[in-house]
């Protein structure tokens, strides 16, 4: 029994040591990234782009759809959603692979603007440190505004204004409820949910997003049915 406890203790110490080492490497990656490109300069660079869209120019339906499908606890957490990370970890362990990320909207900004899409633990840790830095310096609405101006919508559209013009032939503030919900679902897999190339899959994704909106109280079932039956 004593030998068994010693083995368990040794394994725990090894695990803690490896964890601390990975955290240290992740922190170094974060520090290097933010020193090379300070956060304030990065944000100003994003905002200076020609088709940057302010959150006040977007329909509330679109914002609600994004929150529902991407990060429904966005306004409650501080950049990291422990519940989502725990769920993702369990699913990854079950699959013995990285099948679910658990990233918040803030983490996605950190990853897309500072790091690669490479699935490594150190990159994920660096992303966490960067997310905290973003949350410390910007309001939730400012972060959401940055997000919708930096995600990829497929078809060469790297911001919401271009995506609205390309897919629907209109400005963001002119989108219908159905278009808002459809557009919110595209960034998860832009080539798959491209409404021009794969209209059937785009509609299926739209339904998934609408279901999330019902689940989190942004739509009633009756409102969802009316929107989905109205075309885009």
Longest dimension (CA), the chain: 72
What single-letter DSSP state applies at residue 50?
T
> At which of 136, 151, 166 does a domain end?
151
Q: Is the pLDDT of residue 82 over 70?
A: yes
Q: Are residues 168 and 187 in the same domain?
A: yes
> At which of 151, 186, 218 does a domain end?
151
Decide if 69 is inside a domain: no
- Give the count of alpha carbons within 13 A of 213, CB side only: 30
> 178 or 88, which is more confident?
178
Decide if 213 is inside a domain: yes
Q: Is the pLDDT of residue 131 over 80?
A: yes
Reported pTM: 0.85
Decide if 88 is inside a domain: yes
Q: Are residues 36 and 87 in the same domain?
A: yes
Q: Is the pLDDT of residue 39 over 80?
A: yes
Decide if 64 is inside a domain: no
> At which of 128, 151, 174 does a domain end?
151
Q: Are residues 227 and 166 in the same domain?
A: yes
Residue 185 to residue 216: CA distance in whole angstroms: 16
Residue 120 to residue 107: CA distance in whole angstroms: 14
Task: Determine the pLDDT at residue 98.
Answer: 46
Q: Which domain holds residue 103?
A: 1-58+75-151
What are the tokens at 213?
């909106």
Decide if 66 is inside a domain: no
Q: How confident is the model at residue 22 (pLDDT cuts 50, 70, 90)?
A: confident
Q: Are residues 171 and 115 in the same domain?
A: no
The number of folded domains in the chain is 2
Answer yes or no: are the C-beta atoms of 205 and 195 closer than 8 Å: no
Task: Tell me what the mean pLDDT of segment 191-210 comes to.
Answer: 96
Task: Tell me what the mean pLDDT of segment 179-198 comes to.
Answer: 95
- CATH code: domain of residue 218: 1.10.3810.10
Q: How confident is the model at residue 59 (pLDDT cuts 50, 70, 90)?
A: very high
Residue 173 to residue 59: CA distance in whole angstroms: 6
> 99 or 83, which is more confident?
83
Decide if 50 is inside a domain: yes
Q: How far is CA 68 from CA 56, 88, 132, 137, 210, in A?
A: 19, 17, 21, 24, 9
Q: Is the pLDDT of residue 53 over 50?
A: yes
> Percentage of the chain with pLDDT > 70?
87
Task: Tell me what the mean pLDDT of segment 99-124 comes to.
Answer: 83
Decide if 65 is inside a domain: no
SS3 category, 117: coil
Task: Determine the pLDDT at residue 6.
Answer: 59
Q: Are residues 119 and 8 in the same domain?
A: yes
Task: Tell me what the mean pLDDT of segment 111-124 comes to.
Answer: 86
């Amino acid at each position: 029994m004593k030998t068994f406890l010693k083995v368990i203790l040794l394994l725990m110490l090894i695990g803690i040591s490896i964890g601390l080492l990975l955290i240290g490497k992740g922190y170094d990656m974060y520090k290097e990234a933010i020193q090379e490109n300070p956060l304030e300069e990065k944000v100003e660079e994003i905002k200076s782009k020609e088709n940057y869209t302010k959150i006040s120019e977007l329909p509330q339906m679109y914002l609600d759809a994004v929150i529902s499908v991407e990060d429904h606890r966005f306004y409650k957490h501080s950049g990291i959603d422990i519940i989502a990370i725990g769920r993702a970890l369990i699913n990854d362990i079950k699959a013995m692979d990285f099948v679910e990320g658990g990233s918040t909207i803030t983490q996605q900004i950190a990853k897309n603007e500072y790091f690669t899409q490479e699935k490594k633990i150190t990159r994920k840790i660096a992303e966490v440190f960067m997310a905290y830095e973003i949350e410390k310096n910007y309001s939730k609405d400012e972060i959401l505004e940055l997000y919708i101006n930096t995600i990829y919508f497929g078809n060469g559209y790297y911001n919401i204004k271009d995506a609205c013009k390309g897919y629907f032939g209109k400005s963001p503030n002119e989108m219908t409820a159905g278009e808002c919900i459809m557009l919110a679902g595209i960034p998860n897999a832009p080539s798959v949910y491209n409404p021009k190339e794969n209209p059937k899959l785009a509609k299926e994704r739209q339904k998934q997003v609408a279901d999330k909106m019902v689940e989190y109280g942004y739509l009633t079932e009756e409102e969802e049915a009316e929107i989905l039956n109205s075309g885009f």
